[in-house]
Amino acid sequence: EVQLVESGGGLVQPGGSLRLSCEASGFTFSRDSMNWVRQAPGKGLEWVSYISYTGLTIYYADSVKGRFTISRDNARNSLFLQMNSLRAEDTAVYYCARDFYDFGIDYWGQGTLVTVSS
Amino acid sequence: EIVLTQSPGTLSLSPGERATLSCRASQSVSSSSLAWYQQKPGQAPRLLMYGASSRATGIPDKFSGSGSGTDFTLTISRLEPEDFAVYYCQQYGGSPPWTFGQGTKVESK
């Protein structure tokens, strides 16, 4: 069974940093590209970042470019999102999500809530 | 950036009725890049359709997708209680950013 378990969310002040982690199991993590997608409270979905299975291809949404860094450790079956210079508008549930052969996103974690507030 | 506009914002229907959801793109989208998701309160999204018209694993055939270019449609042939949820389209796999529509809420009348 595919499982994606996020951790690392919490309350942080504007301008602060946070590192999200996602532990994957139930599939060969090193063969699949991954994404982070977020959802602000009561709002729709926003794609945040993508990393290929090798880690060599990385994309970001303009809203986070230069502030967030996606990475992965295939030996530890883990995906990460380093978030710096956080803003109130970054407040959201952050989902770790698996790429489905460039057609979509087929598995999602349960999400971790990041709240940016003073 | 490709903007996806979903309509209507809310669809009020009764169980057994047919639901037709629209997703319109600001520029042409490859059919292989159009996906649909269902999200229920407090849950993560679930992939329903990919490639505009292919059902994801385990998705019943009451769900169907169609369209090309800038106009795509998700149809639920006969609504059941578990189908009342929010539905999102997404263009994915082409040039990023990979945007979502704002969602259509299907609610019980």
Nearest to A80 by CA among A1, A8, A28: A8
- Which burial class, exposed, middle or buried, applies to A28 when counting CB atoms under 10 A from its CB (0-12, 13-18, 19+)? exposed
**Would you call A105 and B101 a contact, using CB atoms and an 8 Å cutoff?**
no
Residue B16: CB atoms within 10 A of its CB come to 9
Instruction: Give B4-47 pLDDT, tens digit per residue.
Output: 999 999 999 999 999 999 999 999 998 888 999 999 999 999 99
Per-residue burial over A95-106, b if 16 or more Cβ lie within 10 Å, else e, is bbbbbbeebbbb
Which of B 16-45 lie inside 8 A of A, CB atoms? 32-33, 35, 37, 39, 44-45
Model pLDDT, residue B93: 77
Per the structure block, which two tokens stand in for B56?
């994801």
Instruction: Give A78-114 pLDDT, tens digit per residue.
Output: 999 999 999 999 999 999 999 998 889 999 999 999 9
d(CA B4, CA B26): 6
